[in-house]
Every structure is written in C-alpha cells, then in structure tokens.
Structure 1
Amino acid sequence: MKRKTIVTVFFTLTALLLSGGKAEGQQQETLARSSSPTARYAAEETGLPAAAPWTLQECIRYAQENNIEIQRQELSIEDAELARKQTRLNYIPSVSASVGSGTSFGRVLDPTTYEFRENSSNTDLSASLSLGTEVFAGMRKYLQLKKSDLALQDMLLQVDKARNDLSLNITAAYLDVLFAEEKVTIASQRTRTLTLQVEQTQMLVESGRKTMGDLLQLQADLADAQFQDIEAKNNRTLAYFTLCQLLEIDDYETFRILIPESMPVSRDGVAVGPGEIYEMAQELPQVKSAGLAMDMADRDISIAKSGLYPTLSLSAGYGSSFSNGRQKPDINNPATYIQYPFKDQIRDNASYHISLSLSIPIFNSLSARNNVKSYRIARHRAEYDYMIMQKNLNKEIRQAYIDAVGAYEQYEAAAKNVTTTEEAFRMLEEKYNLGAASPVDYSIALYNLVNARSQLAQAKYSYLFKTKILDFYRGIPIML
C-alpha cells in the first residue's frame, strides 16, 4: 500500500512538471509571435524568457532590414534621388559674385584725370554680381528631368528585385533547415529502434533463443545508425549556418526556426498553368525595369538631339568700384580737390547690364549627330534585352512548373512507398521477434523504411520550394 502511494505521488509530480513546462513553452511561443525578432533577441540579453523559434516571415523581414547587400543597393536610391533633385534645381538661374582689391606703387594711374603719377600709390576695390540661365536649349533640361524620374523608378525596382531574390534564398535555406530537422528525426528513430532491438536481442541471447552472431549484426547496424545520426545533426548545423549567414546573424548554434505543425502537400500548388503565371509575372520588378530601360533610352536620344538646336541664354549683372586715388573738387573751394567718399564712389560707379545670347551649332565634327546615332543603337540594344528577358522569363516559369509537377508526382510515389515499406517492416519485425527472420533481413527492412521516409521528406520539401517559386512569379507573398 505504501509503495502504491509513492508511485502515485511520483506520477502526480511528473504530471505537474510536464504541465508547467508546457505552459512555459506556450508563453514563449506567445512572446515569439507578438514581438519582432530583434526585440526577442534583446529580451534574451536582458534576462527575459529565451528567444523563441523564428517563423519564415520573421526571417524574411529581418533579412530585408539587415542584409548588407540590400543596404548597399539602397544607397543607389539616395544617389538617384539626389540626381533627380538636381535636375529640378537646374531650372534656377545661376548666381555668382566677385570682389577684388589691389594696390599699385610707383607710377600709377590717377583715376580722376586718367594721368600717370610718379612715386605714388593707389588702392582700388571692385565688386560685381551676375545672374545667368539657359532660356532654351532644345528642351534639354525638361528631358533630363523626366529621365531622372525614370532612373529613380528603375533603382527602386532594382532594390525590390534584390529583396525578392533574398526572400527566395531565405525560403530555400529555411526549407533546407526543415528538411535537415526531419532527417535528424528519421535518423534518431532508426537509432532508437535498433537500440531497443539490441537490448531485446541481448536478453534473447542470454536465454539461448538468439545467437551471438545475431547480436553482433544488430550492434554493427546500431553503430552505423549512430554514425548516420551524427551526420544528420552535422548537416542540420550547416543548414542553420547557411540560413544565419543570409540573416547576418553570427550565433547559428542557438538560433532555431519554428517547425510548422503541418505542411499539407496538394496539387493546388500547380493548379495554375504556366501561361497564366507568365502573364502574372509581368508585374515583377525585373520586367518593369527592362521596360524602363527602353524609356530611358528614348530620353537619351531626345537629349542627344537637343545638341542640334540653338541655345538661347540670358544674363544680367551689377558692378561697382572704389579707388582711394580718386578725388573731386571741393564745393567750398573748387580750386582744390578732396578724397572722393567710398559711399559716393560705389553709387556713382555702379553699372548694370542685361543681355541675350544665341549660340547656333554649325559644325562640331558631327559629334552631336553621332551621339544621336549612338543612343539609337543603345535603344535597340535595350529592346533586344527586353525581348531576351521575356524569353528567359517564360522559359524559367515553364521549367519551374514542370519541376513542380514532377516533384509532386515524386511525392505521391514516395508516399505510397512509405506506406508499403512501413507495412513490410511491421510484418518483418513480427517474424524477427518470433525467430522466423534473420538480423540481416531485419536491418534491410529497417534501412528500406528509413530510406523511404527520407525520400518522402526530400520530395515534400522539394515540391514546397518549387511551388513557392511559382507563387513568387504570381506575386503571392511567400509563407508556410
């Protein structure tokens, strides 16, 4: 009676510990879903609950915010914005000012009489303010402004393409980690199965129902299973390392991803045909960027043509000067001269000008016309690049669709193989336990089962990734 009470208390405490651990796990999962990845890492450093596994969406978002290549390309956006701003500032007239001063010694020019004086000195000061602008230059400023708008749009599309490529790479690495986790599970199951079988066979050998050769065969198989188990765990570590490299995270040893409870595999991923997917893919940034390249080439042609037109320029200016050698008659005594005041000289010496100039290109070694021809060649090149891009895009989509259909058929075949292999192993295991099968037969059956499960896992994740590629072409956000 006392022993029964002790057992009851033991299982009660165990149940309480398990329930507490489950509640804590749910609390950490809630924290993981309600906070950003960086916040959860900061919480871990401050002593709060440990960082929870990352979802695929969190990995993609974090990578897009912290990837060095993305940040490097975003600097090009700033350059394009500055260039666009400058094309608008070019409409503002240019203003310049100049000030000069000098002193002459010896034989100097008298600014009053315009005669030279011997053994004298003279200090003068001059200042001017000028304004100039192009009134007409073949609409060059307007065309440059429109091209800068297109260049900024193209740079934004280039960064979007880089983000999309990074998302695909993150998805591939994430699925590789899931596949590696499942391989570890499969290898561990084989190890546990052989461990139990070795223990059972050990007892049968001691009772004389099995031979030592049977035990040695199973022990050899167990050693091989342990080797495969270690290899699977190493591959999992490498998969995490690859994913963390894309995320710009150094601590790959403690980093973990959230393993979905279920990832259903259905033919819905290939329900849309390649032709329809190709039409949807026209919204991809690389497609729009190729179209903008032709538009920018058209602008370049127009800008080059502006060099064939006359240029009309407007300029205006103001200037004045002062000299300490300049004198004027004294009002009270006209026979004598006094120093000409600075303020009066600046006012009296002031001058203004305004002018229009027309520059007509007559002959410049045909450079302007050759520039137009060169940009027309570039326009044809951009058009061919667009056609090649569309051709490659269609090829990539059709190839991805064919791969996805093939992967789904492989998954179906692998699923059937697992079902039959599991049943075959169950029957063989019963025979082995009854002594009607050898350890070699048991090991072969177990190996076939492990291999079938591995093929099923590989086919599943291969199909999932290929369907994510099709979703990417369709403009559907990547998620599991």
Structure 2
Amino acid sequence: MIRILKYSLAVFTFLSATSLFAQKKWTLEECINQALQNNIQIKRSIYTSEIAKSDYIKSYADVTPAINAYGGHGISKGLSYNYYQSTYEDKKVESGSFGITSELDLFQGFTKISSISGNRYGYLASKSDVEKLKNDLVLNVVANYLQVLYASEMLELANEQLTVADLKLNKTKSQFELGQITEGGFLEIKSQYHLEKKNLTVANNNLVMSRLTLAQFLELDSTNNFQIDLKKDLIITSPPIPDCNEIFGIASVSLPEIKSSEYRLLQSKKGLNMARALRSPRIYMSFDYNSRYSQSAIDPFSASLRPYPDYSYSNQISDNTFTSIRLNIQIPIFNKYSTQNQISRAKINVLDRKEALNETKKQVLKNIQQAFADALAAKDTYDQSNESVNALQQVFEFSSQKFDLGMINAVDYWIAKSNLVRANADLINAKYSYLLKLKILDFYRGIPITL
C-alpha cells in the first residue's frame, strides 16, 4: 500500500511539473535572459575575454624577477682529464652540480609599463566585444518575439475571418435554397469560405515557424509547448523621435563596438611604444649561486689533499659554493633592421586602428540614420493603415447590408471583404514594424527594451 502511495505521489508530481511547464508563458524579459545565459557564441566570446584577462594579469608578473633552479648528477667512464689533479685517468666517475639563477630588468625603455597598459586595453576591448554580441542577440530576440506576436494576431484575424465566412456561408445557403440568390452567388461565397480555411492553415504554420525560430534563439532543449506572453493590450504610442545627431551623440559614448575600436586604437599606440623601446639599452641585474661535487675531487684546503670519499659530497658542496651578483647593460647597435621594421609595422597598425574606429563610427551613424528613416516611414504607414481600416470597415458593412438585400452580387461583396482583410493584415504588419523600429531607436539611445 505504501509503495502504491509513493508511486502515485511521484506520478502526480511529474504531471504537475509538466503541466506547469506547459502553462508557462515567456515574457520578453525572460526570453532575453534565457538567450543571454545559454547562447554558445557569447560563452565562447567570454572565454576569449578571460584569455585576454589572463594576458593582462601576466603582464604585471613580467615586472618581477625571473628565478630558476638547476641541477644534475652524472656518471662518466673512460679516459678523461682530472683537473683537480692535473692528470689523465681512465675510470668511472660520478659528479654533479646545482644552482640558482635570477634576472631582474631595471630599465628597458618602459617596455613592461607599455605592455601592462596595452594588455589592459586589449582586455577591455574583448569585454566590449562580448557586450556587442549580447546587444546583437537582444535585438534578434526582440525582433523574433515581435514576429511571434505578429503571427499570433494574424492567426486571430484568420480565425475571425473564417468565423465570418462560415456564418455568411450558412446564411447564403439558406438564401440559395429559398431561391433568393443564384447558384453562382452561393458558389462564390462557398469558395471564399474554403479560401479562409486555407488562410487559417497558412497563418497557423507561420505562427509555428516563428515560435520555433524564437525558441532556437533561446537555446531551449525542447520547443514543445513553448508559448510566449501575448500582449492583448499592446498599445502603440507615437513619441517624438529625436534627431539623428542627438541619438548618435548618445550611441557614440555607450555602444560597445565603438568602445572596442577605441580600446584597440589605444592598444596599438602602446604597441608602438614597445617597438620604439627596442632602441633603448637594457639594464638588468643577474644573480647566480651554484656548487658542485665529484668523485675525482681532492680537498685543496687539507695538507694531505684527501680524496673522495674522505672528501665527502657535503664538504665539497660547502667548499665549492660560488655566488655572483652582476649589473649588466645591453646596448642594441645593429640587428638587421628588425627594430625599425617592428616600428614601421606598429605605426601602420596605429593608422589602421584609427581608420577602423572611423569606420565603426560611420557604420553606427548609417545604422542610426537608417533606423530613423525606417521609424518615420513606419509611423506614416501605421497611421495610414489605421485610416484605411476605418474607411474600409464602413465600406464592408455597407456592402454586407446591400448583399443581404440582393442589391449587389457575391463578387462585389467578396471584393469589399477582401479589401478589408488585406487592410487589417497591413495594419497588423505596420503596427509591429513600427514598434520594432521604435525599439531599435530606444536601443541606440540606451533605453532598456521592454513591451
């Protein structure tokens, strides 16, 4: 009995979770967050940024001294010269040595400082690249989210038109059976009904495909039962559209693609400083500590010149200790024009980065100008579509009354209805097109995108 209760509880929990998932309706904010957290391209870009961060941290470590230890133990056999006793001997000898070396740069034309600054700008540029990808993804999600809303309204319109066509077909059938209209008029209305059924199928397929596209942007494991929060009360306002130059002024200091180009220009200038520093002398300190031991060694400090093993390894290591501290200078004189070539390449890179920055700014300005023009055109189209629907609605109502009274034939009625359906479809398209253009302008102005 207890096992049955546990099994029933597990099934109930699973079905409840499934039902909750099926009932979940994604808002625009949830879709954006889901896409940002799971997009593979953004994840890879973040990893690239982390590599740049690692290079930046490493440049600080380059300022510290390099310290290395070495050591070795070997066995030699055969005729060899024993420099301890100044004789040749043929025997097996074991020997070894070890030590510690270190170098510390004191001056090298401020190369290390330029490297730190350059890697910092490279890291900041890579972070801006990540933000650029995120912005592009957000715009894609918003556009596809609005596409789903558009497809949903088109499906709703198709359902309404099919309902109207069904009512008209039933009424026309009764009129035909009573001999009030001709068979041709009845067949015309019947063909219109089947056309509306086809339009409903097309609208439903478009909605399915738009949902699938949006779900793929969200990187969902399953697209089954994927639904979004339909904005039934979505109202389009017509705020004053700012001037292009005003929008560009905001975008030029906030868009990550411009920041990335600026950082890479600064990084290239630091690279030029590093190339010029190759002409500078290098001043550095070096330190060396080492010792050695050998079976051929003799004690130079004893009167009897005691050999190994009386002269033990520990005594040899203590006696043979050597320490050296040096101040060195390395002056470049001629290196096959390598330094001059690096300076020339660095100068060209700076010029290229300047042009890249100008190109980025011009492209952003073009995008803003295009979005500005699109928004104005979309607003006019939306306003005209509203007026067209209002006018054609009156025409259709008048034509419907005349058709019921037998004053016009089915063809004239069909034309009036088709014009109204087309106008409603154009209005829905104009509404979401205008809304998308407004959201793009909001994006360039740094305003969060919401519905």
Determine the C-alpha separation between the residues in 2 that align with 1:72 and 1:363.
Answer: 43
Determine the C-alpha separation between the residues in 1 that align with 2:296 and 2:157.
Answer: 103
Q: Secondary structure at the match of 1:267?
A: coil
Determine the C-alpha separation between the residues in 1 that align with 2:280 and 2:171.
Answer: 97
Determine the C-alpha separation between the residues in 2 that align with 1:382 and 1:330.
Answer: 68
1:388 shift after superposition: 2.4
Q: 1:80 to 1:412 in 2, by over 3 A?
A: same
List alignment gaps of at least 5 residues for structure 1.
1-41
Counterpart pick for 2:46 among 47, 71, 74? 74
1:460 aligns with 2:431: yes
* Alignment RMSD (CA, Å): 2.2
Provide, for residues 202-224 of structure 1, a one-character-per-residue CA deviation record: whole Å limited to 9, x for no partner: 12222232332222111111111
1:88 shift after superposition: 1.0
Name the structure 2 match of 1:438.
409
Provide, for residues 69-108 of structure 1, a one-character-per-residue CA deviation record: whole Å limited to 9, x for no partner: 1111111111101111111111121111211222233434
Q: 1:108 to 1:300 in 2, by over 3 A?
A: closer
User: Which piece of structure 1 moves more, 250-259 or 454-463?
Assistant: 250-259
1:431 shift after superposition: 1.7
1:471 aligns with 2:438: no
Counterpart pick for 1:50 among 22, 30, 54? 22
Q: 1:253 to 1:228 in 2, by over 3 A?
A: farther
Does structure 2 conserve the Cα–Cα contact (< 8 Å) formed by 1:107 and 1:117? yes
Name the structure 1 match of 2:277.
306
Q: 1:378 to 1:457 in 2, by over 3 A?
A: same
Residues 33-432 of structure 1 mapped to structure 2, 5 A cutoff: 48=20, 50-110=22-82, 112-118=84-90, 120-268=91-239, 270-282=240-252, 283-328=254-299, 339-432=310-403
Does structure 2 conserve the Cα–Cα contact (< 8 Å) formed by 1:300 and 1:375? yes
User: Which piece of structure 1 moves more, 252-261 or 354-363?
Assistant: 252-261
In structure 2, what residue type is equivalent to 1:211?
T
Percent identical: 30
Determine the C-alpha separation between the residues in 1 that align with 2:306 and 2:213.
Answer: 96
Q: Secondary structure at the match of 1:321?
A: strand
In structure 1, what residue type is equivalent to 2:39?
N
Determine the C-alpha separation between the residues in 1 that align with 2:130 and 2:305.
Answer: 82
Does structure 2 conserve the Cα–Cα contact (< 8 Å) formed by 1:66 and 1:247? yes
Does structure 2 conserve the Cα–Cα contact (< 8 Å) formed by 1:325 and 1:339? no
How many equivalent pairs are there?
436
Q: Secondary structure at the match of 1:309?
A: coil
In structure 2, what residue type is equivalent to 1:310?
P
Name the structure 2 match of 1:5.
none
Q: What TM-score do you get using the length of structure 2 for normalisation?
A: 0.91
Provide, for residues 446-478 of structure 1, a one-character-per-residue CA deviation record: whole Å limited to 9, x for no partner: 111111100101111110000111001001111
Q: What TM-score do you get using the length of structure 1 for normalisation?
A: 0.86
